[in-house]
Amino acid sequence: MSQDRQAILYGLGAVALWSTVATAFKVGLGWMSPLELMWIAVLVSWLLMGGLVIRQGAMKQALNHGWKTALWAGVMNPAAYYLVLFAAYDRLPGQEAMALNYTWALAMAFLAVPLLGQRLTRFDVIAGLVAYAGVWVIATRGAVLNVSFADPLGVLLALSSTLLWAFYWLLNARDTRQPLVGQWQNFTVGLPILTVLLLIGPGFQWHSWTAFGAGVYVGLFEMGIAFVLWQMAVQRVSRTAKVSNLIFLSPPVSLMLLHFVVGEPILSSTFVGLILILSGLGLQQFQSAFAWPKP
């Protein structure tokens, strides 16, 4: 099997797992608070990543190097990002939180202007206008001429999560740590923060095996195995666009699972807004895939 074919299979595996997590979020949040769900997920992911680091023989490196970066990176991800994201899922229908969260790539393009000194192209501007028109459709639930959002705080939290995620990856542009080692270090920093917040907040409570299973699932797959599969795909593929475009398969599958497993009716506003968001992302991908080389 060629390396590109292997990469695509790994990428499809990651996308398949990511397509299920919106449903897992809503199932878990139906039983417990965002902080409780997050603590279980981060603990499970930290244990998984630690085991993989040991298996790779990289634990000595992980213990001795990279902690200066991990101190701020771990506060952003997992602590801040997932707290905001789970809070958004707790307030909004899963389909809306999921769709709004997909604008992080566009947020990254716009934030790269002041942070990295990059320039916006005409494609970036058009893609942003199209995608954020979709955000407006979803946020107003189709009442596009009405400035009264159905859940303003939920929408604000969902969009804030995209900014946090974009900031995180932009600031990590110069991170020289091995990805798996860096992820484990970040979670090593984030887990104690979440533990303190949990102790002074809702505390440790047992809800049900369903709730616990949802937390374990999120930790294993959304934060853990999917990350490893995606890393393997990116490392093996000859051209990044071959696997990056696979992410467009995730939202439709997520909508179907939310409908059939959680029982969410698919709102027409979500469907239209998601098409606009994916169209904006598609324009951005089109630009990078077909840009002419500079002379």
CB atoms under 10 Å from CB of 243, counted, come to 23
Orientation angle between helical segments 104-116 and 268-290, nearest 10 degrees: 50
CB atoms under 10 Å from CB of 101, counted, come to 19
> 218 near 27, Cβ under 8 Å?
no
Place of tokens 């104690």: 192
> 269 near 34, Cβ under 8 Å?
no
Alpha helices in 117-240 (DSSP H): 122-139, 152-171, 179-200, 209-217, 226-236
**Which backbone phi and psi does 100 adopt, to 5 degrees?**
-65, -35
> 263 near 99, Cβ under 8 Å?
no
CA–CA gap between residue 78 and residue 245 (Å, rounded): 25
Specify the pLDDT at position 203: 80
The three-class DSSP label of residue 105 is helix
Instruction: Tell me the three-class secondary structure of 74-117, residue by residue.
Output: HHHHHHHHHHHHHHHHHHCCHHHHHHHHCCHHHHHHHHHHHHHC
CA–CA gap between residue 215 and residue 211 (Å, rounded): 6
Burial class (CB in 10 A: 0-12, 13-18, 19+), 60: exposed
**CA-closest candidate to residue 272, choices 171, 135, 107:** 135
Token pair for residue 80? 């801040």
CA–CA gap between residue 42 and residue 190 (Å, rounded): 8
Alpha helices in 30-80 (DSSP H): 34-55, 59-64, 67-74
How far is residue 49 from each of residues 36, 180, 193, 214, measured CA to CA in Å? Answer: 20, 7, 18, 18
Which helix (H) or strand (E) covers residue 90, if one does?
Answer: helix 81-91
Contacts of 10 (CB under 8 A, 6+ apart): 229, 230, 232, 233, 236, 243
For every one of its 295 residues, what pLDDT tens digit does the chain have, with 9 covering 90 and above?
Answer: 577 788 888 888 988 898 898 999 999 999 999 999 999 999 999 999 999 999 999 999 999 998 999 999 999 999 999 999 999 999 998 888 888 888 887 787 788 878 777 777 777 788 888 888 888 888 777 777 766 667 889 989 999 998 998 888 888 777 888 888 988 999 999 999 999 999 998 788 888 899 899 999 999 988 888 888 887 887 777 766 567 667 777 888 888 888 898 898 888 888 888 888 888 878 766 665 544 333 3
Burial class (CB in 10 A: 0-12, 13-18, 19+), 162: buried
Token pair for residue 217? 């699932």
